[in-house]
Chain A
Amino acid sequence: MSAAARLPDGQGSPVIQTKGLDLFYGNFQALKGVDLSITEKKITAIIGPSGCGKSTLLRVFNRMNDLVEGARVTGSVRLDGKEIYAPGTDLLLLRKKVGMVFQRPNPFPLSILENVVFGLKIHHMYRKKRGILYEMARKSLESVLLWDDLKDKLGRLATNLSLEQQQKLCIARLLVVKPEVLLMDEPCSALDPMSTSRIEELMQELKKNYTIVIVTHNMQQAARVSDEAGYMLLGELVEFGRTHAIFTAPRDKRTEDYVTGRLG
């Protein structure tokens, strides 16, 4: 691990912890000895230049890298104290607990309602009672502030919504299965500035109930929304700590160059 990396000293218990995390795509090492700790009900931002391994790191937390042929992980990754790469881990349960929002909004080409209740159906989380799906969909659409806009259009095709609405719908689709952690991989990069700021507001709202990890290219965004932040370079987590500290008093020269360079 890099000497500068340290665990944040803030309050709150750690939800995800990694130690000596390495990830290889075949022979290429994409993550090098990453040590970090994601704190409960905080927003943690991962920043760094393109190709440094931000998405790769995020995809470790819900084991989406398993889908990549030849990807191999070593080291320790714990969720609530339990090793998620241990044999016998229930992958489906893990992904239910750790939801993911993608760079391009990807609602399914189904109705809005079908999108929201998708998770309930695949995890058999509802009793066959009339109206129960609707009720649960209402709650989760309310928590992403979409209910008022969409309540009369639940039968419409989700892929025809605006990008902002699609991205919110993708978040609602996660909330319905009651996850602990939300992983967001550049969730606003396909959106305009107004939509971006509304999604950021939403994140502040969601933080009350969920732990959020966001990958972003946009340093202002990281500075605005996150409580803790990590700077990655070439697969290494160079520095990790309070967002404020990272941006105002970086301990590593490389972080400083990046942060000041970008902020001008």
Chain B
Amino acid sequence: MPAWKKIREFVAEAAVKASGLASIFIVALIFYFLLREGIGLFQAYRLPDFLAGKNWYPISDPPEFGILPLIFGTLLVTLGAAAISVPLGVAAAIYIAEVAPSRLKEFLKSGVELLAAIPSVVLGFIGMVTVVPWIKTAFGVPTGLTALAGSVILAFMAMPTIVSIAEDAIHSVPKNYKEGAYALGATKWQTIYRVVIPAASSGIVAAVMLGIGRVVGETMAVMMVTGNSASMWRGILFPVRTLTATVAAEMGETVQGSEHYFALFAIGVALFLMTFVINMTADMVLHRKRK
């Protein structure tokens, strides 16, 4: 091999390696930075009070930084979104992969991709002018800015991920499984729910986890429709505030280096860990399948 070729090989390999390492390094750096700033809070404030405190009063005197209501808000909105998007998304994936005629299939797939392309502010805005007033009148509540509104909007955001990954998993179920079921006299529906779905189950679970993982960290749309009241559990038809919305709404008002400032970073750490765990779980489920 001539020298210049060797050099070219070396440079290409090094470049690929460097960009791979860089992405890991950057993630580590972000986490380090979050942690460093977040830990500042616990010089004066106790960790149990932070995690289990029922009040988020960052500007009272003395301030309280209990994130329990925020965790509640996040869980409520996210679980609500899951309850809406998982059945719909999985059903849509099954329909696209197994039932729809091929022309409609292509059309629906591009539709789903289009949904994924809508910016979250736009979704939030649409939610504000449609979902929020609808909830107000349909349920007769004083305000439509509720956890439910957040769930509906987030469900729309989780759906494209769930549909496209689950559709992929269902589509890649080997044809001979289906043939075996048909040859035994199974109907199309029996084949789908007794063979195809179990065969694709780990892919479907991963799709759900990634879809949810995507919306846990969502901020903009949620902030616009949930009413942002940091109160403890009252129900899906009341205003709530999520972890993300809290950081986004309050970061601009804090003094750098203040306790409040550190508390917001601590929230960031909590969020980071939450999404990390969700994504890791999804990854593990996917990989278990591959083996």
Contact = CB atoms under 8 A, between A and B. Distances in A.
Contact of A67 (B177, B182, B190): B182
A106 interface: yes
A250 interface: no
Contacts, number: 65
Contacts of B198: 108-110
**A interface majority secondary structure:** helix
B182 A64 contact: yes
A255 interface: no
Given A64-B179, A102-B179, A108-B177, A177 B185 contact: yes
Interface of B: 174, 176-177, 179-187, 190, 194-195, 198-199
B176 A106 contact: yes
A92 B185 contact: yes
Given A108-B195, A121-B194, A64 B177 contact: no
Contacts of B186: 92, 118, 122
Interface of A: 62, 64, 67, 91-96, 99-100, 102, 104, 106-110, 118-119, 121-123, 170, 173-174, 177
Contact of A104 (B176, B182, B190): B176
B185 A122 contact: yes
A45 B119 CA distance: 63
A106 B183 CA distance: 11
Contacts of B176: 102, 104, 106
Q: Which of A94, A95, A104 has the most CB of B within 10 A?
A: A95
Nearest to A110: B198
Contacts of A96: 184-185
B174 to A, nearest CB: 8
Contact of A95 (B177, B184, B199): B184
B181 A108 contact: yes
A123 B181 CA distance: 12
Contacts of A94: 185
B183 A108 contact: no
9 contacts: A93-B185, A95-B185, A100-B183, A106-B174, A106-B176, A108-B199, A109-B199, A119-B185, A122-B181
B183 A95 contact: yes
Given A122-B185, A177-B185, A108 B180 contact: yes
Nearest to B175: A106
A123 B186 CA distance: 8
A95 B179 CA distance: 12
A76 B255 CA distance: 88
A119 B195 CA distance: 12
A173 B184 CA distance: 8
Contacts of B183: 62, 64, 95, 99-100, 102
Contacts of A106: 174, 176-177, 179-180
A108 B199 CA distance: 8
A64 B195 CA distance: 18
A64 B176 CA distance: 12
B123 to A, nearest CB: 37
A185 to B, nearest CB: 10
Given A106-B176, A109-B177, A109-B199, A99 B194 contact: no
Contacts of B177: 106, 108-109
A99 B199 contact: no
B199 A122 contact: no
A109 B180 CA distance: 11
Contacts of B185: 91-96, 119, 122-123, 177
Given A121-B194, A122-B190, A99 B184 contact: yes
B285 to A, nearest CB: 15
Q: Which of A91, A92, A109, A177 has the most CB of B within 10 A?
A: A109
Contacts of A121: 194
Nearest to A101: B183
Q: Which 4 A-B pairs have the closest CB atoms?
A: A95-B185, A106-B176, A100-B183, A96-B185
A96 B181 CA distance: 11
A95 B145 CA distance: 56
A170 B183 CA distance: 11
A95 B180 contact: no
A119 B184 contact: yes
